[in-house]
Structure 1
Amino acid sequence: MLSKLKVIVAFGIGRVIKSNNTNYSEGDIVISPVTPLAEYCAVSSQSIARKIDPNSGISTPEYISLLGVPGFAAWVGIEVIADPKAGSNVFISAAAGGIGMYAEQLAKLKGCRVVGSTG
């Protein structure tokens, strides 16, 4: 039974401690959609999405929130699926959640009146 247990993976950010791949150096900060949830782990270079420039002015957590899955899901919902026009009323359920808070702001940027609910 224990042999079937696997480490949970998630979209994450890590710092390279050692690499056999010349594209990655010690200290590089990388983002990967399949990061094992552990203090230390080994990942293949194919699972790394990209390096993060620490001097970009973007805080590291933003890469997995606003620029990650929650931000992308909110963008798809507002920009692609709903496509509200300025002056429209937009209702956001779960407005306090990771996706809802970005969806609210995207709708406001489009000039919409936003109403949100939360549990």
Structure 2
Amino acid sequence: CIEIVRGIQHEWKYLATSVTDHEVDRAKNKLKAELLSIADDSTRFADRLGRDVLNTGKATQLEELERAIHKLDGSSVREAVSRHVYDRDIAAAGVGQTESWPNYAQVRYGMSWWRL
């Protein structure tokens, strides 16, 4: 289980230090395509609007989402991950047999070992 946690932390480190504009552009295109496919399905569209209202208190228009997505680049992703993920306390919950789950100190150390 520690290998899975370390793998996730490795990806967070990559996002905070090395993600490229090309990778972000590819993700942006994929997200835009998903949003447009949701707009074609009334049930999925209503679900998205409901989630928006619950999360933000308002229904976000597709044009507004597209503008926000367009503003993203590699440096904004690196900055956001560095600010909100790097060296932050974590919370985890387990169900069932959790004997192999690493202790908090191990996981917490992994959140800051990659000093920038």
Tell me if both proteins adopt one fold, taking TM over 0.5 as the criterion. Answer: no
Structure having the larger proportion of residues in helix: 2
TM-score, with length taken from structure 2? 0.25
Greater relative contact order, per chain length (Cα 8 Å cut-off, separation 6+): 2
TM-score, with length taken from structure 1? 0.25
